[in-house]
Chain A
C-alpha cells in the first residue's frame, strides 16, 4: 500500500477491483464503510462475481476475468478525452512533458524491438530523448507529438467504451458511470483510492494491470494524498515483510538486486543501480545504493567484508536467468534439482498444475518441510485416495517434516499491508518438541559451518565467514536479529558537513538510513528498516494509538518503513509551492524553512519547493512515469492481452496480429504451453478465490472454520446451471486440460454470463481452500486445474483466468 488501512477513511471514491476486501480482508474493509458513512464516499466494485464487497457498493460492474487493462485503459481514454485530469499535478509531478525517442513505436499490439523467436523485446528504443546537457528533453507546452502526454493519449484512444463492452462484457452505461465517478476526483480536493489484490497480480499481464491503475491515479492527482494511493491488499500476514527483506530469487534486502553474471565488476554493479538524475536538481535517492549495499554486506559478513574484496562481492551468487518458483519447478521436473526446503509454504497446493508439482517433487532426492501444520506438500508421496492418487513405492524422495512454532509461540515482527512493522509477543510454548524457525535455521547453519570448517568443500568462505555473533549460536533471539536488520554504527559516524562532529557513536543503533555509510563504518541488514530499533529502543513495539490530527496516522503506533512514513510520496499532496492541495486533509507542507506535518515528509526536509525538486525522489526523473521506459517486459504503456487460456482466438484490440493475442513477452515452457486448453473443449472461464470463512490451506485444519465451510464447492451461474441440467447441491466435475476436481455445485445469481465479442461466456468460481489434510472434509486441490504461465515480470501464475468445462457427475 502507498497508504495504509486507516487512511481509507479519507477517500471520496473507493474503487475495489482485482480484490474482494469485504471477504478477504474484512477488518480492513471496515475503513471503506467508515469512508462511506462519514466521508460520503462512493464505493465502486468491478469484479466477475457479485461479491460481498459488491453487495455494499454504490456501483457494481461485472467484468470478464483477465480484461482489467481493457477496462482501465477505457477509463484513461475517458479522462483524457474529457480533460478530466488534475492539470497542475500531471504537469509538475509526472513525465507528461518528457519527449520519447524517435525510434520508439507501437503497431498492432507490438512495441518496437520485438524478437518473435526469443519472445522478448530489445528495449533500447523505449526511452526518453536526451538533450545536449545530458538531461531529458521536455516540452512544457505539451505540443511535441512524441511527448509522453500525446503518446499516452494516442495509445488509449483505441480503448473506446464500445471496445470495453465487447472485450470485458461490462455494460457500456455502467462503465461510463465508473468513468464519471473516478473523474470527480480530478479536482485537488477530492481523492480516490484503488484497492486491489491477487485478482490483479495473478495474470500473465498482472503487473501491467496494476500499472494501469496507478496511471489512472496519477492522472487524477490521487497518489501521495490522504485517501488516495495504490493500495495492494497483501494476502498474507508477512508477505510484505518477506518481499521487503528480499526473499526472492533475484533480490537482496531493501529492494537491492542480485548481480547478473555479466556484472563481474563491483563498481559497475553499483553504478548501474546508483542512477544519476535525469532532470536538473532531482534527488534520485538510489544514488545512495552503495551505502545500502555495503551496510548489508557488513551485516552479513562482518569483518570478512572489506574494501579490498569489494565488501564480499564474490560471496554473492550471480544470476544467469531468473530462478523464480515456476522456473524451479521446471528444473525439478527435468530432474535438475536434488533438494527443496519448504518453510511454512505449501507449494503442492499453492503452485499451478498439481500433476506437474507431484512429478517434480517425486524427482527430488530430498525435501525438508518446516511447518506448524501437516501440509499436503510434506505428504505429496502419500496416497490419499482420489485426492492424491500416488504410489509411494515409486517415489524415492526422502522427506523430513519438522514441527515449528506458530505466531502465538514466538516474539517478533510482521509487516502489514500498510508497511507497519508490529512487534508481537509469545503467549505459550509450542506443542510437543516443536522449535522456532529461527532455531531450526540456526541449528542447520551451525552444523554446516562446522562441516565446512572441518572438511572444507566447495567455496567455504561465505559459509564459514558469515557473521554469526549471536549469544546462543543455535538460537539467536528475535531481538538480536531485529537490531541487526535495523543497523548500528561500527565506528564513529561523522557529519558529512562537519567531520569534527560525531553524529553516531560506535556501537550505537542507527536512527535511520540517512546515517548509513559506504566505508564500512555502519551495518544494516535491510536499509528500509533502518531506525526500526534505534537508541530510543524497539520502535516496532510502540502502542500509543493517539491520532492528534484526526487524519488516522497514529505515528507512535509501531513503526512503518521507510522512516516511519505512513503515506508514500506525500510531497505530492502539496502543490508545487508546498501548500496542501486539500487543506482539510493535510499530510505535510512547507513552512518556509522546512517540511513537516502529520506525516514524515517523503522529501528532503529542508528543500525549498522553488528549486523544483520532484516528489518522486526514488525515480531519477523526480516525477512519476506514465512511460515505464525499459522497466517492464512487455512495454512502456500497459496494453491488453488475452489470458493464455481465453475464450477468444484473437485480441479484440489487435485482431490482425496473431503474435499479440497473449502477452508477447511472457515466458512459458514448452510442455506447459502444450498443456494449455482450447475454448472448443473447455468453453468456460474459471477464476479461483478465497472465502471469508477460510484462509488459504490453513484454516481447514481449524475446527471452527472447518465447521463453517466444511465441504468443497464451486460456484456456477443460474443460466449456466440450467444449460448443464445442474441443480443446487448436485455434484459436478470441473476439468481443465491438466486435470479435474469434483465438488458440490452452488448455483448462484451472483455470476451471470457475459457477452464477449457477441457470444455468451460463462464464469465458474473455484474457491481454493480444500485439500487432503486437515479437519474439513477432504477435497481436491484447486490448483489441479490451473495453468503454468506467469506474469511477464514477476512470474506470478495466472490463477485468475483459465479455461474449464463443467459436467454433472
Chain B
C-alpha cells in the first residue's frame, strides 16, 4: 500500500473508520490529491433535445447509459437544462425537470392493443394485424361514403365520415407527413390541438 490516491484511500477507509484513525495507524497516502467522486455523467452519452411540453422549447441535455455499441441499449437516466440554449440558459421548470420520469412512466404503452366491441379489456395484437385491420376499416369507410360530386354536380372529392386529430407535440416531420396522407385521402374533419 505504498501509493494511494486520495480517492482509493477514502475507499479503503470505508464508512465506519474515520480517516484520522488510519492516519494515526500510519496509513497515510503519499500524495493527497484533491479529487471528488467521479461524476457519473462523465461516462454517459449526451444527446441534445428540446422539452416537449410548452412552447418555450427549452433546450435539454439527455444523458444515457450505453456506449452506442450495437448490442448496448441506451437508457436515459438524467435530463437537465442546456446551458447553451439562448432561451432557457440551463434552467428548467418543475415539468421539464421531471422529464426523465415521463420517458420511464408506468403509463408508457409498450404493445399495440385492441378492444373489441362490448369488450371490457384490452387484448394484445401484432403490428401487422393492427395495420391490416385499420387500413381495411379506413378503405371500407372511405369507399362507402366518399363524396365525389354534390347533387348539383360540383366536384368536391371529400371524405367526411372519418376524422382525425393530430398532436401538438409531434414533430414537424410527423405532422407534415400526416397532413399529406390525410388530405390525400380527402379528409376534412382533420384538426390539431390549436383548436383548443
Contacts and interface: CB of A to CB of B under 8 A. Distances in A.
A25 interface: yes
Interface in B146-168: 146, 148, 150, 154-168
22 contacts: A237-B52, A237-B55, A238-B171, A240-B55, A249-B189, A327-B189, A328-B189, A338-B145, A401-B115, A402-B130, A403-B112, A406-B108, A408-B99, A425-B48, A427-B76, A428-B74, A431-B108, A441-B177, A478-B173, A481-B173, A695-B54, A704-B97
A526 B179 CA distance: 11
Interface stretch (A148-156, A182-190, A365-373, A499-507): A365-373
A407 B175 contact: no
B58 to A, nearest CB: 5
B142 interface: yes
B120 A392 contact: yes
Interface of B is mostly: mixed
A397 B163 contact: no
Contacts of B91: 27, 30
Contact of A428 (B75, B92, B107, B133): B75
Interface string A461-472: 011001000000
Nearest to A445: B181
A114 interface: no
Contact of A462 (B84, B175, B186): B186
B132 A447 contact: yes
A300 B195 CA distance: 25
A525 B102 CA distance: 32
A428 B111 contact: no
Contact of A526 (B50, B97, B176, B192): B176
A341 B141 CA distance: 13
B32 interface: no
A275 interface: no
A456 to B, nearest CB: 9
Nearest to A313: B155
B75 to A, nearest CB: 6
A466 B184 CA distance: 7
Contacts of B154: 261-262, 264, 318
A481 B177 contact: yes
A345 B176 contact: no
A339 B156 contact: no
A698 interface: yes
A25 B146 CA distance: 43
Nearest to B158: A317
B111 A433 contact: yes
A237 B50 contact: yes
A482 B114 CA distance: 33
A310 B9 CA distance: 80
B194 A242 contact: yes
Interface in A701-754: 701-705, 708
Interface of B: 45, 47-59, 62, 64, 73-76, 81, 84-89, 91-99, 101-103, 105-120, 122, 125, 127, 130-139, 141-143, 145-146, 148, 150, 154-181, 183-196
Contact of A796 (B101, B108, B130, B196): B196
B119 A410 contact: no
A38 to B, nearest CB: 14
Contact of A702 (B73, B101, B190): B101
Given A5-B56, A249-B188, A701-B102, A545 B86 contact: yes
A249 B166 CA distance: 11
Contacts of A331: 160, 189
B190 A432 contact: no
A317 B149 CA distance: 11
Contact of A323 (B55, B111, B160, B174): B160
A628 to B, nearest CB: 20
A374 B131 contact: no
A534 interface: no
Contact of A249 (B88, B103, B178, B191): B191
Nearest to A345: B165
Given A242-B166, A242-B170, A372 B157 contact: no
B168 A236 contact: yes
A345 B195 contact: no
A269 B189 CA distance: 21
A705 B173 contact: no
Question: How many of chain A's residues touch chain B, expressed as a range?
Answer: 35 or more
Contacts of B177: 438, 441-442, 476, 481
Contacts of B52: 237, 406-407, 414
A400 B133 contact: yes
A407 B79 CA distance: 12
B122 A705 contact: no
A554 B173 contact: no
A237 B186 contact: no
A325 to B, nearest CB: 5
A444 interface: yes
Interface in A292-348: 299-300, 314-320, 323-328, 331-332, 336-345, 347
Given A427-B76, A448-B135, A437 B87 contact: no
A288 interface: no
B107 to A, nearest CB: 4
Given A234-B55, A406-B102, A401 B94 contact: no
Nearest to B53: A695
B131 to A, nearest CB: 5
B139 to A, nearest CB: 5
Contacts of B130: 400, 402
Contacts of B159: 317, 458
A543 interface: yes
A243 interface: yes
A350 B166 CA distance: 13
A451 B136 contact: yes
A415 interface: yes
Given A372-B109, A428-B75, A699-B98, A443 B190 contact: no
B50 to A, nearest CB: 5
A557 B48 CA distance: 14
A374 B168 CA distance: 17
B171 to A, nearest CB: 3
Given A237-B169, A249-B191, A705-B98, A373 B184 contact: no
Interface stretch (A79-87, A416-424, A578-586, A593-601): A416-424
Contact of A416 (B57, B99, B157, B191): B57
Contacts of A336: 160-161
Contacts of A778: none
B109 A401 contact: yes
Contacts of A326: 195
Most chain-A Cβ atoms within 10 A of its Cβ — which of B58, B88, B183, B192? Answer: B192
A336 B147 CA distance: 14
Given A247-B179, A338-B162, A373 B109 contact: yes
Most buried by A among B130, B168, B174: B174
Most-contacted residue by chain A among B101, B156, B170 (CB, 10 A): B170
Contact of B148 (A393, A459, A702): A459
A462 B157 contact: yes
